[in-house]
Amino acid sequence: MTHAILSELQQFVSAPIDLSTLAKEAEEFDENLVRALSDQQEIEGYVKRLEERYDSEEESRQSPEPAALVKELEDFLRQQRSNDDPAEDREPNV
């Protein structure tokens, strides 16, 4: 949004405004937002599968094995961590 406003403002200002850095950062923001939403959907799907599994086990009168659930959750979180983009771990440019 800022990029669009500055692009329009540039028509009225006699000095040129370099918007290339802002455009690049806006693109990175959009990519990170899409990735975060995708991760959110994966987590929601995982929770739904856990709930369904719990419900089906409850119906058959078998309690879920706590150790198995914990292991499955740990495996899932480990997988999510390994899927993270290493670029997110970089320090921001100052």
Query: How does pLDDT run across 13-66, given as a tens digit for each residue?
Result: 777 778 888 888 888 988 888 888 887 888 888 888 988 888 887 666 666 678
Decide if 32 contacts 45 (C-beta within 8 A). Answer: no
- Whole-number pLDDT of residue 6: 77
Q: How confident is the model at residue 94 (pLDDT cuts 50, 70, 90)?
A: very low
C-alpha–C-alpha distance, residues 81 and 86, integer Å: 10
- Whole-number pLDDT of residue 70: 87
Residue type, 53: R
C-alpha–C-alpha distance, residues 66 and 84, integer Å: 27
Residue type, 25: E
